[in-house]
Structure 1
């Protein structure tokens, strides 16, 4: 691996990322910019990586490092990727060892931007990011939080553990061609389980942990997509590089998914959505009276999947639904696929310790033409990859 380091204060966090990469068995060559060494010095990078550290093309010229480093890499990860580095990469500048390496690399390239919010949101930066994504590079969304000084906002470098997971998923995908099969796509994914308030304390909900939806988001990012994740009541950390929108109720999830779907090429409804909600929630906690509980009048929630399928933002938009069933899985799944009008429906059996809250899953991907693709039992990441394989096969 090549770990490129830009000149940002977040460079100190990359030391922990480097430690995780080397301890997991990867051979890592750190290539910082000259200015990056003002934040973390070359001896630190050399000691942590066990590899020589250089910033200029004039060192060890007989080894042609400006070409060889990029040619021999399985992954190039740039963190922090400053606005200056993103601009140079987008326009093909090659004025130091890192930018030369980016031009010669034929492996997957991942940029983890970190900068002040104003710089991240500037039209020039956004245009450079769009250019890099169109070329197949993976540009993760920065985290939102405390920046340099007292400022807060979008532009924070994701945590080292999260960036390590991004690198791991990208490397698992193999070659650059396979990694980039979702490059340039915008995807909107829902995850978790909605909650409908009965009173300020109690709610109607379900057992969904959001793990499968989060795996879909992380996998789509690793395959090059720009991802928006609408997360309903999960206890999971936000996936690095994914724009996460937290929601609670079905109404909030519907509104967030409508907004995310407007610009999406693929919409995936993986959240477990409550079918019913109380007609009215009590303003204060409902107390025992000794006379038994009062009936709770319920009403149906909107059918978000059917709505998104019927009112697509663009004709070529693909819509994928999920169906959690306890019995007659395939029959119920095919009936649901017909009702919802989506392009694919991923059906899985739940209950008795299956699917909800577990790290593993198995499913069947159904299509309107009657075809079905079984997804064997495995990790939720492997199930996510199988879902995206089915989506990629239907992309225009």
Structure 2
């Protein structure tokens, strides 16, 4: 007897509910109930919406393999897809395939993705680094010019990636309040179906209008590049607009949450903060950012798929039509890959993390996100060395109510 609990199956009455709430005492870690899933092995059943029992994959190795397995589909509208919200509202939440290639399988996924992937190569992203550095310094200047306090989310973490993705796409930054508000509703786990539908429609119409303008007066930006594909007959106007929605939303929501959440985490660990603040070594900064990405895992409700064929995994059979939830936050705390995984260690080699997924659907914008974080964290702590949170940890509003984890606000002073 090993004392290891039996793996729950679809007939078990004690299948754990998913998702499970995080602990307020440790808001940077996955919920205790979710962590307990690892005790059942790399694959186990969970109970989700309407009594459905999708498979949850907890282990690092199995997740990496399955994320590259074409027998798992990302299409939101397939029967059995394990939606992060009530299935009756799944289309309203995710926009169905209206979120472009993120909800498509190959070959259509690969066809559309190739049209934007060249923009996010490391070489092109590195060419943007001086501009991102300027933006970061400008927003810090603005904070320092006011009183010795700010909301780090609204005054720093959210504006920087919003401005970056606006300039890259060719979206007027003066419209940032509009697209930030609608994006926040789309990734909300508590907004009503109608609110999500309206927010998605608002962004889709906005991007369609922009595409129309750039068809007439193109610029030096990604939307104009997509317009070239429209003129060649390789892309429809609607496809270009929905790709714009995806890139605009994903380009600022995720990075903004990483900036604010990572800042708060480092303020809780001053010894680790000093490592990233006091070095001029780009390699040290890069390793620090990878560890923050591993530790925080802001995609905190799993990557979701549906099996299109039977798949044998760890002695179990995932049947065609069954849902699968790949829990990257647990993969990133797998002790077989990351020793002492609950310890924040900015000197750790954390590059095997799955914060950006893996396989064909790994995050297309990950080079840009990495570069932004490499600029923002050290600049912030060097320029405001006395930065501190105003409130205790238990008074800070974490995004327990969103698909992307982060902070609603972070009052700071210096």
TM-score computed with the length of structure 2 as normaliser: 0.24
Greater percentage in helix: 2
Greater percentage in strand: 1
* Bigger radius of gyration: 1
TM-score computed with the length of structure 1 as normaliser: 0.24
